[in-house]
Chain A
Amino acid sequence: MTAKTFGQRTLRLEDPDLLRGKARFVDDIHIDGMLHAAFVRSPHAHAKIVSIDKTAALALPGVRAVLTCEDIRRYATSERLMVALPDRTYTQQRHRVVLASDETVYVGEAIAMVVADTPYLAEDAVFAVDISFDVLPAISDCRVALSPGAERVHSDATNNLVAEFTSSYGDVNAAFAGASHVFRESYWQHRGCAHALECRGCLATFDPIDDRLTLWSSTQTPLVAARLLAETLGREEASIRVVSPDVGGGFGPKLVFYPEEAGVAIATLILNRPVKWIEDRREHFVATTQERDQYWEAEIALDNEGKILGVRGSLLHDHGAYTARGLTVPQGAAASLTLAYVVPTYRMDVKAVLTNKVPVTPVRGAGQPQGIFVMERLLDLAARELKIDRAEIRRRNLVPPEAMPFKKGFVTRGGIPIVLDSGDYPACQAEALETAGWASFSERKRAARAEGRYIGLGLANYVEGTGRGPFEQASVRIAPSGLIHVATGAAAMGQSTKTMLAQIVADQLGGVIDRVVVTTGDSAKIAVGFGGFNSRQAVMAGSSAHVAAVKVRQKVLQIAGHLLETDVGDLDIDGENVVVKGADMKISMCEIAKAMTVSPGFTLPGNLPPGIEALENVVIDAMTYANGSAVAEVEVDVETAAVKVTRIVFVHDAGRLINPTLVEGQVTGAIAHGIGNALYEWMGYSDDAQPLTTNFADYLLITSTEMPAIELRHRESPTPLNPLGIKGVGEAGVMPIPAAIASAVEDALSPLRLRITQVPIRPNELAALLDEAGARR
């Protein structure tokens, strides 16, 4: 069967409503009688909560309730949100509370919840809640957190270590002992916030007739939220419905289940009115999870030909004040480091450390950009010291295509072996270098220098794990109208989930995506699911939808075959009809659906089993590994120390592409985020853990004028791990960019022999390096 919609650059089903301003984000939902919540948040990074005086707040007009931990306690089975991914390496459990009651451990932690008639009145009342605190010492720097005698992030803890583990394989010490060359470097990587354009928010309502609580939430994981909410409230899962309406971006932090979601649900039960909470941007800086600092010590051992013998080191990771998700970020960082290369021995000792700051959970990339940065910086260092071209040293070490499937020596958090399934990494790098003009760049560089300009080229490769399993349920059904209904626990946040699934399903069932109605992110419409994160929905939901569609196609053809008295092999589905190939006979899907709706006492056509639907949970435990190579070109203004990225060449391989246009959009958007991480984005905190950058003038997201020209190329190494041969691509763009830009900046300033060992590298910091280098000469 030839592909009809799979692989096509179809237009999106999502667009008409979004373009007309008719979409429905959570704050667009209006329910008559709804009340508005606002949260009183801790102004201190660490303090004992001595007392909470609600009197003044309750006296304000329109205020319906001021709720504290005491008030909501009896509505929840547990004061803490037990949502963390399981892991044996935790040395202490630190689950978030819904509302803090005796101690608060980060600026922004929710302490009380005001519910009022309007958001304006709720905010007025927030300022009127009088809380008295005993301020305690706060830990801001994760290095300080582990120093002997350090203050404790949580008063009842004996130390600030929250988890410790080692990612390793092979005898790395032996490798280093026998190595001709060992190079060592320290890195400081700071990622920042996700900052989806839409902040978080939720709206809860309770229907006493159905005994069901519905929560609309701007979340990436509605089905998980439904389960967690049911657990927290001590209710049957079926009595909770969580729906993601239109979601204005997620990028990671919206996959977390939050205290506000539980709080708003409880408020609706207490007040018997719908309750809505919409986060504002300033709040988002301190209430929504983020990534922050990692401090790395790393060494690479090589032989005389520049072949890697081993990599080892340590990582200190800022975990924030609580475990809001798990150890994904440090685990991902440690696991991703060696993926693209043949690294025979490896050891990374990781410590995740508590600080009195917002909890850290994955932001697009989930730790992998950091691991990749370290590997790529080490290779550049080795290249410089061994006097080997940066591209050549990589070529010598990239996992070659003939080695696929290539088993890495370790496993994922779930104990699943890490095996690179497909991809031609050397060819990918070669294509990127060719496209970027790597070989002839030194000429251009010389010419620029003659004009007093400093330009440079940098290279970085990445391999990322995508398609996190174990499954994502999808159902496909022919409705009585003849339309094709698809339901899945997958959640859309802008990555065109509906169009993607419609293309996969339509490919089997008539080739017209407008005939496919996709419901995502509704726990009432599908029983089991995980949601959108880790570049998984095309792989997981797509695979389930594909298998279900194939089954439904079979069924449709069987029924049609019976009704048309034709062999199934002579039939095809075209648009809304099943057609007989080469003849002018057809029957519509609507008629087929009707034929299967028999009256009581009558037999089904052809005695076929009832229903034209299929529900699938395609299980794929192994992750599928996508890869790419990026070349960044920069110009450095040595007077101002400003770095301008003038060009990015990005060649990537995500297996077969469902819709190349959508893939390009994803990659370009992620590249923009990567540029932000390389040069602009910094979530600043003071030494006493007070957030310093809490608005968009201080925390910098790049705009259209900072974006360089992007040249994107796709390669396709289909994966054998799923029936469609596809890999995830949502995070790809961000992976190699900070490394490629750091490499390019060093190249531009090569006479100075600088080393860029920190990102973001802002003009302020680069100027200091330039001064130092100038002083050195």
Chain B
Amino acid sequence: MDQRRITVVVNGQQFAETVNVRTTLADFLRHQLRLTGTHLGCEHGVCGACTVLLDGRSVRSCLMLAVQADKHEIATVEGLAGSDGALHPLQQAFADHHGLQCGFCTPGMLTTLVEFLRDNPDPSELDVRIAISGNLCRCTGYQSIVTATLDAAKRMRAERTA
């Protein structure tokens, strides 16, 4: 038997799908659900471009099988903006601080940082650098991503106290 039926909630929406057991979670999201925001950069768990949130925790979707996501919740970059289309503070901060150039690593950076800022709302610069040390970027040299993250953290703290 090389197919299974799974139910997953992705960005708040429930899906019931039949998947090949060897299909990776990344390929399932990208080609079966057509959520192509999550990218494949290496398929061996180093570059972080494929990072999504599984039950709120950042994971490398190239290192999971789609069948393993059965009965779990996934959040991808497509779910970050509000239902009214307003950008998540991290996304806005990335735009404001030129935190992306080609944009290929960006979805993985964003999902990684969503979890990070939730657990660490007031990080130091070093904390941020360590947090994204599992995400490769060849364009930016990381500086603008760090600046954007610190600014997003500030905005999010302000929103919380407002």
Contact = CB atoms under 8 A, between A and B. Distances in A.
A246 B78 CA distance: 17
B18 interface: no
B95 A30 contact: no
Interface in B73-109: 76-78, 80-81, 87, 91, 94-96, 98, 100-107
A625 B117 CA distance: 44
Interface string B6-43: 00000000000000101100010011001111111111
A764 interface: no
A672 B145 CA distance: 14
B129 interface: yes
Interface in A183-216: 194-199
B142 A14 contact: no
A281 B138 CA distance: 14
Interface centre among B20, B37, B76, B104 (most CB of A within 10 A): B104
A28 B36 CA distance: 6
A558 interface: no
B67 interface: no
A672 B142 contact: yes
B136 A696 contact: yes
Contact of A281 (B43, B104, B143): B43
Given A120-B20, A197-B104, 15 more contacts: A16-B87, A24-B36, A25-B39, A27-B36, A119-B27, A198-B39, A198-B104, A199-B41, A282-B44, A493-B102, A665-B140, A670-B141, A703-B142, A704-B128, A707-B142
23 contacts: A19-B100, A20-B37, A20-B81, A20-B87, A21-B78, A28-B30, A120-B22, A196-B138, A197-B39, A197-B49, A197-B102, A496-B101, A664-B144, A666-B101, A669-B138, A669-B139, A672-B140, A672-B142, A697-B44, A704-B128, A704-B133, A710-B143, A733-B141
Nearest to B136: A701
Contact of B138 (A16, A662, A701): A701
B102 A15 contact: no
A12 B95 contact: yes
A703 B136 contact: yes
Contact of A704 (B20, B34, B145): B145
B143 A668 contact: yes
Contact of B141 (A15, A281, A672, A705): A672
Nearest to A670: B141
Contact of B101 (A25, A27, A28, A494): A494
B66 interface: no
B41 A197 contact: yes
A27 B41 CA distance: 11
A768 interface: no
Interface string B108-134: 001000000000000000001110111
B97 to A, nearest CB: 8
A695 B46 CA distance: 9
Contact of A494 (B103, B107, B128): B103
A248 interface: yes
Interface in A681-721: 695-697, 701, 703-705, 707, 710
Given A28-B36, A695-B44, A703-B136, A198 B102 contact: yes
B103 A23 contact: yes
Interface residues of A, number: 57
A247 interface: yes
Nearest to B145: A704
Interface of A: 11-12, 14-16, 18-25, 27-28, 30, 119-120, 194-199, 246-249, 251, 280-282, 493-496, 661-662, 664-666, 668-673, 695-697, 701, 703-705, 707, 710, 733
Given A18-B103, A20-B91, A662 B37 contact: no
Contact of A195 (B76, B110, B132, B138): B138
A696 B47 contact: yes
Nearest to A246: B103
Contacts of B94: 15, 19
B77 A20 contact: yes
A21 B76 contact: yes
Given A120-B22, A697-B46, A704-B133, A196 B91 contact: no
B150 interface: no
B102 A20 contact: no
Contacts of A28: 30, 36
Contact of A665 (B87, B95, B130, B144): B144
A731 to B, nearest CB: 13
Given A25-B39, A195-B138, A248-B102, A705 B133 contact: yes
B42 A695 contact: yes
A392 to B, nearest CB: 31
B53 interface: no
A206 to B, nearest CB: 22
B110 A19 contact: yes
A558 B32 CA distance: 54
B70 to A, nearest CB: 19
A455 B63 CA distance: 41
A19 B91 contact: yes
Given A665-B144, A701-B138, A281 B44 contact: yes
A15 B104 contact: no
B100 A18 contact: yes
Nearest to B130: A705
Contacts of A23: 37, 103
B129 A494 contact: no
Contacts of A198: 39, 41, 102, 104
B146 interface: yes
A664 B106 CA distance: 18
A407 B134 CA distance: 48
Nearest to B131: A704
Contact of B104 (A248, A251, A662): A248
B100 A197 contact: no
A359 B118 CA distance: 46
A247 B76 CA distance: 20
A30 B31 contact: yes
A249 B144 CA distance: 17
B137 interface: yes
Contacts of B35: 21
B98 A662 contact: yes
Given A665-B140, A704-B132, A281 B37 contact: no
Contact of B103 (A14, A664, A668, A710): A14
